[in-house]
Chains A and B, each alone.
Chain A
Amino acid sequence: EVQLVESGGGLIQPGRSLRLSCAASGFTFNDHAMHWVRQVPGKGLEWVSGISWNSASLNYAGSVKGRFTISRDNAKNALYLHMSSLRPEDTALYFCARSGLDYTGYLPDHWGQGTQVTVSS
């Protein structure tokens, strides 16, 4: 069974940094690209970033480009999102999601339960 468990969320002040983690299990991690998607409570889904199976391809939404960095450690079956210069509008539930294939252009097929990030002074 595919399992994705996010962690690292919390309350953080504007301008500070935070790193989210996603622990993957139940599948061959390095066969799949991975994504981060966020959702403000009561609002729609917003794709944040994607990374190919070998980290060769990294993609970001315009709203986070230059501030967020996605990475992965295939040896640890882990996905990360380093978020810097955080803004109140980054407040959301952040989902880790597995791509159906090994490249970032393919869409998610399994999702974690999310970790909440709240940016506020």
Chain B
Amino acid sequence: QSVLTQPPSISAAPGQRITISCSGSTSNIGNNYVAWYQQLPGTAPKLLIYDNDKRPSGIPDRFSGSKSGTTVTLGVTGLQTGDEASYYCATWDSGLSAVVFGGGTRLTVL
């Protein structure tokens, strides 16, 4: 059971917009920065969003992050077939003194 809770799967059509939620507690999301990672099949994770809402260079602005209390949300607009991947949220948990990941959300672009 992951400390951070994400929906296991989501599907949408090309061109649509989706959001993926990640909920935690005050010991993790509520008081620490959150990152989002994209993992394409058979590859290593790639940083999509850091510090809750910032994009590394090279990440298109179709990807966005937001935070409210103990929940963060990843938004993806203009879905493309190449966005089919698993998405993970992560943050530091001050109570555990550990990095914690969400269980991952598998995105299918129909």
Binding site for B on A (CB under 8 A): 35, 37, 44-47, 50, 59-62, 95, 100, 104-114
Interface of B is mostly: strand
- B82: which A residues are within 8 A, CB to CB? none
- A113: which B residues are within 8 A, CB to CB? 43-44
Contact of B98 (CB < 8 Å), options: A44, A47, A95, A111: A47
Flag if A95 contacts B99 (CB, 8 Å): no
CA distance in complex: A12, B67 (Å): 43
CA distance in complex: A75, B44 (Å): 26
Total interface residues on B, CB under 8 Å, equals: 27
Please name 23 pairs of A and B residues whose Cβ atoms are closer than 8 Å in the assembled complex, sorted by A: A37-B45, A37-B99, A44-B2, A44-B104, A45-B88, A47-B90, A47-B100, A50-B99, A59-B97, A59-B99, A62-B98, A100-B50, A104-B99, A106-B92, A107-B33, A107-B50, A107-B91, A107-B99, A108-B35, A108-B45, A108-B47, A111-B45, A114-B44
